[in-house]
Amino acid sequence: MTATPAVADTQQKVPVAEGYGGAVATVDLDASKAAIAVLRRGGNAVDAAVAAGAVLGVTEPFSAGLTGGGFMLYYDARQRKVFTIDGRETAPQAMTSSTFEGIPFAEGVTSGLSAGIPGTTATWDLALHRFGTLSLRQALQPAIDVASNGFTVDQTFHDQTAANADRFKDFTSTAKLYLPDGQPPAVGSTFRNPELAATYRELGRRGPGWLYGGQLGQEIVATVKQPPITPGSTRNVRPGLMELSDLRSYRALLREPTHISFKGLDVYGMAPPSSGGSTVGEALNILQALPKVGLHEYLESSRLAFADRNKYVGDLPNVPLKELLSDGFAKERACLIGDKALTSPVAPGNPDGSYEPCATPTGTPVADDNPQGPETTHLVVADRWGNVVAYNLTIESTGGNGIVVPGRGVLLNNELTDFTFGPASGDPNLPGPGKRPRSSMAPTIVFDHGKPVLAVGSPGGATIITTVLQILVNRYEFGMSLPDALAAPRASQRNAVQTEAEQAFIDKYGAELTTQHGQSFKLNPEIGAATGLEFLGHGRIQAAAEPTRRGGGSAMVVFPSR
């Protein structure tokens, strides 16, 4: 079976679609078309998700790619079970807890030092072997076609290239690809990446071992250790620690999902090293313990859940996940919420299994007040058999570490900057050999009496968690439709003194929340770029993407009518 896109090139992207036989929502029309084509030709949701993810590596290369990582949440309808794949990048064996200490964050980002051992290719391979029907070679074919034939440069692609131009120009391979004639590609022009097409083609032919220890892996290691710096550049580009042995030892992992019950629904998410499932789940449990829920309560539940996330969650043994997601702990934390905003940073709670009606937290507070951009991407797919995928994939910052592997057409990730730079004794997110940095990615699937009713996720760094949480609150507490829940203005409280909020949120709710509840806001121009699916019954599916954020997303269905 081949997986060549079969949807007319003239089709325009739309943010909402309803129909039958399967559905997809991504940030990009070409990726959605690839997924729908796979579904129409008999592939399942995993096949379609991998095909779409590979196309996003072409059309959204500053957010995703085969040298990145991510988390896939998969519901298998035949087994009636949720599986998760942890394809998070890992630190090289030579990395220690003090590797980043004293390094300015920006210098950490644009360096070989920030490049983690990639997990995306291993994720695709594991997903297809365990749950799919296509070979990796077949699943990559739509992306090969798009990379070879080109895609139309939109305003978002142009703007993201321009925002990275100062560092892209400092690497010969990156400048050659993304700054032709020294300028970002013009809006409306056709962008081709024949080197990436050839890389995908060879990867499909040789398999993932070509990256995890083979020739491609050797080239990645060489690029990390000796970045192709443009002659005359004054940028301080630190070499990385990656070795070929690190690539050989990498594995994508099957993990148990997180699970909570909320308003009679079952909510499944991603467990550590992602903090997405635990933090979304804890916040929902806190809201469920309150007598009423409004925007103030939404902000306070997130504030408290982030206090606990920052203290307890990382790639460590014995993360107290069961207690963080327990009703007893949620009630103890919910007791702290009153009419006025708590003073941040709030101290973490004590998830020890012994809960009082209203315990005063005594731990050392840890805030998350770092600026969060639009990095990462998320897609959702469902097929005719009822299988569902929610998939976050990323190369971390928009543009990754800024370094294209020479001759391969792909940017490297800067995922290791998700570690705490230190010094921070006892921080669960300090770097270490083979360790996976804590993530905020939160692919989520919601069930009602054992049947999937909604799947959702978003990019946006740590604001991923609050975006997913707010969409769920909008949908199930405030009664919005899924498209309205996605489109509504957003705010992100992460145990910081001020809540980041979009201008539309500040304009609509800021004065009341400040006057009545003592909330404080600062502007974040754009929070998240979500995609979701809702299952409407009798085989009908609604796919929803952003109407305007990140240029708007693309929702498609296999058949608009039966």
The answer to whether 352 and 480 have CB atoms below 8 angstroms apart is no
Amino acid code (one letter) for 319: V
Residue tagged 């469902």 (tokens): 382
Cβ distance 422 to 429 under 8 Å? Answer: no
CA distance linking residue 441 with residue 275, whole number of Å = 7
Residue 324, SS3 per DSSP:
helix
Torsion-angle region of 102 (φ positive above 0: left; ψ -120 to 50: alpha; else: beta): left
- Whether residue 407 contacts residue 218, with contact meaning beta carbons closer than 8 Å, is answered with no
Alpha carbons 255 and 245: distance in angstroms, whole number: 24
> Helix, strand, coil % (nearest 5) of the chain?
35, 20, 45
Q: What is the largest CA-CA distance in the chain?
A: 66
Q: How far apart are CA 392 and CA 424, in angstroms?
A: 28
Distance CA(513)–CA(199), nearest Å, equals 52
Task: Clarify whether 258 is annotated catalytic.
Answer: no
The neighbouring-strand residues paired with 533 are 455, 543
Q: Which runs of E-coded beta strand occur in 342-467?
A: 377-383, 388-394, 444-448, 451-457
Helices (H), 11-154: 29-40, 45-59, 105-109, 120-131, 136-149
DSSP state at residue 404: B
Q: How far apart are CA 202 and CA 308, in angstroms?
A: 45
The amino acid at residue 310 is N
Question: Which residue carries 């920030």 as its tokens?
Answer: 114
Residue 291 CA: distances (Å) to CA of 102, 272, 331, 333: 46, 30, 11, 14
End-to-end CA distance of the chain: 24
Report d(CA 313, CA 440) in Å as an integer. 10
- The CA distance from 458 to 456, in Å, is 7
**Catalytic one of 376, 394, 398, 466:** 376
Whole-number Å distance between alpha carbons of 256 and 261: 16
Side-chain-side CA neighbours of 205 within 13 Å: the count stands at: 8
Q: Are 482 and 294 in contact (CB under 8 A)?
A: no
172 Cβ partners below 8 Å, 6+ apart? Answer: 228, 229, 230, 406
* Whether residue 423 has a cis bond before it, omega within 30° of 0: yes
- Hey, which residues are catalytic here? 376
